[in-house]
A and B are shown apart, each in its own frame.
Chain A
């Protein structure tokens, strides 16, 4: 005979299924979150670790020029990445979205390949691509008469190099998202626009843009949060945020203070400061994108 689920069994089963997740989650996410607050109020004083100092770390942070400079660089990277990367990704998506294109699958694969390569591997292997005299990028640009750029050692240019490298790494990733958005736009909308006499550009503004706006809004938020975690590239490609501190992002600074100098309390405070700023930015982005889509 079939038996029905007894109430007791139904009561325990979900908790048994949740147990592995909850055990690890409470230990490695929730606990460190509280520990992070605790830690951010402490400092290492001489040989004594974890001396309670109140809000001193945060007060120090407010006046810490290196920190704000690193925030400025990170924000520069975040904004410029959006401005360059999203149009490039959308362009790629529009190119490979065309039904009649020969070699469509090939191009999609090619544009996606860089997404698979970890930033650490790019960091070590791209050093010579970016060399000023012997670098292969300058050699290629030279064919078109473009003067040599000192990609990695010019402090005024190095953040742009990181943005470009980011475009190489992630354009294909964003392209795939845009493609999903483009595929979701009903063809009838384009047909209707054609009947109304719209040209290609008008169709792009009236049909394509509204169709992919939700995807774009998601990518803007995801990319901004990702930008604030930028570490591997400046640390490896630019040798610890160099030249000088020209590519010291906020994550590089956090690592240096917390793990090179050993002041974990200060690092925790940096982490919270970045989190609060990012939450505010995310809220503003959400409001703006809602206002736009209305």
Chain B
């Protein structure tokens, strides 16, 4: 039995090393000088000549602060809009009986089977025609009507008792009032999960922002780190690592603060329809 325990902890140590290793290596590399990081294996883990020069370059020469602001803005608006639109749609499907409900549900379900690949080319045409190229709305709107979001909201809202809605109506509250001040506060677990899910997805998106954004000043962090930082500072690896770290740090801090919400947000897909 003791040997079994030992094997378990050895396995945990090895997997922890490989899981955390790249993070430690990035942190360490971002504080290294050019010479040090260019050594075999990237030099020692604790920098011998620690420097913050990589971070200074990032903010002085690349205007990294602007990309950070753009990303926070786009990810926040995407998350808020998608969640509100999904909650409203899900509420209609869960709590009202009306003609055409089956059709709407069916069409939404059907489109969820399609991989996003198939929409890429026509969506670009559309966004171009709507003059949304280089606009943040070109990033935010196409994903804001999420079939997935509406369906999980519908699923969750079904478990909310109808009595509460009826009581609201008896008190003379309008339909919107009931939704806004009775329902929304009740479904906070699912709204926070969907908020986090969409926020993270938007923060890490690369392909679509690369297609939609042309003006360098509008770039988001993913596009900025890969296209601006990496091409200007191809040989200065520490700058690339510093840029990566600043890009992922807000998400990691958010995760450490809201672990439970993150886990339920990222496992939303397992909710049975």
Contact = CB atoms under 8 A, between A and B. Distances in A.
Interface of A: 2-5, 9-11, 13-18, 20-25, 27-33, 35-36, 38-39, 91-92, 95, 98, 101, 107, 109-121, 123-126, 128-129, 133-136, 138-140, 168, 172-173, 176-177, 180, 215, 218, 222, 225, 228-229, 231-232, 236, 250-251, 254-255, 258-259, 264-265, 267-268, 270-272, 274-275, 278-279, 282
A113 B117 contact: no
15 contacts: A14-B92, A17-B88, A24-B85, A25-B145, A28-B144, A36-B119, A123-B226, A134-B38, A134-B41, A139-B42, A177-B267, A231-B206, A250-B117, A264-B125, A275-B115
B145 A15 contact: no
A63 B171 CA distance: 68
A83 to B, nearest CB: 18
Contacts of A232: 206-207
Interface stretch (B47-55, B58-66, B104-112, B185-193): B104-112
Given A36-B122, A114-B19, A180-B267, A25 B92 contact: no
A221 to B, nearest CB: 10
B266 A36 contact: no
B237 interface: yes
A95 B113 CA distance: 34
B156 to A, nearest CB: 15
Contacts of A14: 92-93, 96, 98, 101
Contacts of B101: 14
Contact of A3 (B89, B172, B247): B172
Contacts of A113: 19-20, 23, 252, 255
Contact of A120 (B91, B124, B225): B225
Contacts of A225: 115
B211 interface: yes
Contacts of A112: 255, 263
Given A11-B98, A36-B118, A275-B115, A31 B126 contact: yes
Contacts of A25: 108, 145, 147
Contacts of B108: 25
- Interface size class, chain B: 35 or more
Given A25-B147, A128-B237, A118 B204 contact: yes
Contacts of B18: 168
Contact of A39 (B91, B122, B240): B122
Interface in B42-96: 42, 84-86, 88-89, 91-93, 96
A228 B244 contact: no
A32 B42 contact: no
Q: State the main secondary structure of chain A at its contact with B.
A: helix
B117 A274 contact: yes
B40 interface: yes
A116 B252 contact: yes
Most chain B beta-carbon contacts within 10 A, residue among A11, A29, A138, A222: A29
B119 A109 contact: no
B41 A136 contact: yes
A222 B266 CA distance: 13
B22 A168 contact: yes
Contact of B121 (A20, A31, A134, A264): A264
Contacts of B175: 9, 13, 16-17
B118 A271 contact: yes
Across chains A and B, which 3 residue pairs bring their CB atoms closest together, nearest first?
Answer: A118-B204, A139-B41, A21-B89
Interface string B10-24: 011001101111110
B244 A125 contact: yes
Nearest to B25: A136
Given A218-B269, A271-B121, A92 B147 contact: no
Contacts of A236: 206, 226
A239 to B, nearest CB: 10
A120 B226 contact: yes
Most chain B beta-carbon contacts within 10 A, residue among A13, A17, A33, A115: A17
Nearest to A232: B206
A4 B175 CA distance: 12
A267 B117 CA distance: 9
B15 A92 contact: yes
A177 to B, nearest CB: 6
B184 interface: no
A32 to B, nearest CB: 4
B170 interface: yes
B238 to A, nearest CB: 10
Contact of B118 (A101, A215, A275): A275
Contact of A124 (B19, B20, B37, B225): B225
A134 B145 CA distance: 46
A233 B107 CA distance: 32
B115 A13 contact: no
B102 interface: no
A128 B30 CA distance: 13
